[in-house]
Structure 1
């Protein structure tokens, strides 16, 4: 899939505006976490461009309602639902085993944020497990389908929250130090960027490229674990983007960005983000630790070992 010419998209662009003029007929896309928030609008835009879209969701009933609404709003009957719980690698493997044919676009969109201290049955800290390891397992299991697409793209939805923590290799799951939900979230979001960097390097010969992104400040169910008073105050101070605007950068990376080895690995507001020493205004820029190739290589090997052990 060749990217369309660069258009002057920005922070206020919507996902549907980004795909205007793009034809994805015959292309297959999978969007995780596509029953709420920006996942819905990402799936809607890809479907509006003609793609066969699978909504990979934990709540299949909610996914079915979303799929029906997207089919109705886009007049695209090829939208379907698949069960996926990123904390349960059994469902990850089942989805991949049931996939038939090529996969042109994989959008690793699902995520959790600032949860209480929770762990998977394997003992993995839940934010790292869901935001990174589950998506890592999904992408690697779907590698044959991505390679068969001859030009597949992986979109990793990260966050400016990556600025709060590099990868804590000595204590990934907070088994020795006290749990900190902000650090746990930041680590998982750094992992998203590093995964995209290393996937592009490792899978370049298979025609697979990836990039990560910050969708912007968007108020969705993702903030459900925040203190209610703090959340209300933040909403008053920062109105933020709509979900349709928040999905625009995901769709931009999926369809228009020039991806590959040596190209930008992290986007915001539909353009490459600047590499900065500290996140600007809590939203803008990418920190060097999230783009370090040695860290990316090490994280891949550690993640592969963890996933193989379950």
Structure 2
């Protein structure tokens, strides 16, 4: 067992706190879904530390508005907006093709949660297509730019919801089983972790580190498909984080010297997660999400699909 990575930061820490004193001048970052929720605060923290930040977003108007706000609050005018629809592989390929020069930080932050069943033109189930396959295609498409950076970091925003489902390789797209929005979301979030495990292995020689994380429970537009009763239950069970706290673990993995060289791990509350314990709700990491054979199998399948 590799020793567990811990930091002085925890549940309450904010993105600004974990990046305090870090200078990202000259470094370039992409944040998917950077126009809403924790994506905004992730981008703001990176820009505040001097990075050039591109918000990769579906809604360009919202992206431009957020970029203007970040420029205003950080006095860093190198905040850009580029279109990206993760459910559309043509859009993903176009984003990667249009990128020039090195890329030091890629935060795969965008996602959909517990949405009703819908399918992409390829017939892929939408949550898996967006949360995993879109980010897979994007990251692989940006591999050469990440390698050119020499010490790039890829950060994938997963969720404790991964504990609800392994990747069901026999029926990923719910063609032969009843669709369950939460099992679908859970499997897509497991896939985010497995991606980090496999990319860590494949890309170590390129100086690229890849990690995944659970941001915590944050009230954002991500929950737009969740019914009011479920949200009410959550409010009784959990303490919500602010978006600034929710972005902290992403920013730690993207920029902190405390995790320099760390790769293939899953973090929550700014520390590497402990193994999940049966009956303990919503924390820790499932053994199946770190399984190297599953990680390789998922990578090979994803390559065939995209």
TM-score normalised by length of structure 1: 0.94
Q: Give 3-state SS (helix, strand or coil) of 2:43's partner.
A: helix
Aligned 8 A contact 1:28 1:102 in 2: yes
Aligned 8 A contact 2:199 2:264 in 1: no
1:239-266: CA deviation from partner (whole Å, max 9, x where unpaired) = 41000000000001111253657x5610
Residue 281 of structure 2 is matched in structure 1 by 281
Q: Measure the CA separation in 2 of the matches of 1:130 and 1:264.
A: 21
Residue 125 of structure 2 is matched in structure 1 by 125
Residue 228 of structure 1 is matched in structure 2 by 228
- The answer on 1:299 being equivalent to 2:304 is no
Mapping 1:5-154, distance limit 5 Å: 8-154=8-154
State the Cα RMSD in Å: 1.4
Aligned length: 300
Q: Measure the CA separation in 1 of the matches of 2:264 and 2:273.
A: 8
Aligned 8 A contact 2:154 2:254 in 1: yes
Q: Give 3-state SS (helix, strand or coil) of 2:280's partner.
A: coil
1:142-163: CA deviation from partner (whole Å, max 9, x where unpaired) = 0010000001000000000000
Aligned 8 A contact 1:125 1:174 in 2: yes
Q: Measure the CA separation in 1 of the matches of 2:223 and 2:279.
A: 20
Quote the offset at 1:275 in angstroms: 1.2
In the alignment, structure 2 segments of 5+ residues that lack a partner are 1-5
Change (3 A) 1:279 1:214: farther
Q: Give 3-state SS (helix, strand or coil) of 1:224's partner.
A: helix
Q: Measure the CA separation in 2 of the matches of 1:59 and 1:71.
A: 18
Quote the offset at 1:236 in angstroms: 4.8
Q: Measure the CA separation in 1 of the matches of 2:128 and 2:279.
A: 21
Residue 243 of structure 1 is matched in structure 2 by 243
Change (3 A) 1:193 1:259: farther
Quote the offset at 1:217 in angstroms: 1.1
Q: Measure the CA separation in 1 of the matches of 2:259 and 2:292.
A: 19
Deviation larger for 269-278 or 135-144:
269-278
Q: Measure the CA separation in 2 of the matches of 1:179 and 1:207.
A: 39
Aligned 8 A contact 1:86 1:130 in 2: yes
- The answer on 1:258 being equivalent to 2:259 is yes
Change (3 A) 1:260 1:176: farther
Residue 3 of structure 1 is matched in structure 2 by none
Q: Give 3-state SS (helix, strand or coil) of 2:259's partner.
A: coil
Quote the offset at 1:219 in angstroms: 1.2
Q: Measure the CA separation in 1 of the matches of 2:239 and 2:136.
A: 32
Q: Give 3-state SS (helix, strand or coil) of 1:8's partner.
A: coil
In the alignment, structure 1 segments of 5+ residues that lack a partner are 1-5
Q: Measure the CA separation in 2 of the matches of 1:121 and 1:67.
A: 31
1:46-88: CA deviation from partner (whole Å, max 9, x where unpaired) = 0000000000000000000000000000000000000000001
Aligned 8 A contact 2:276 2:285 in 1: yes
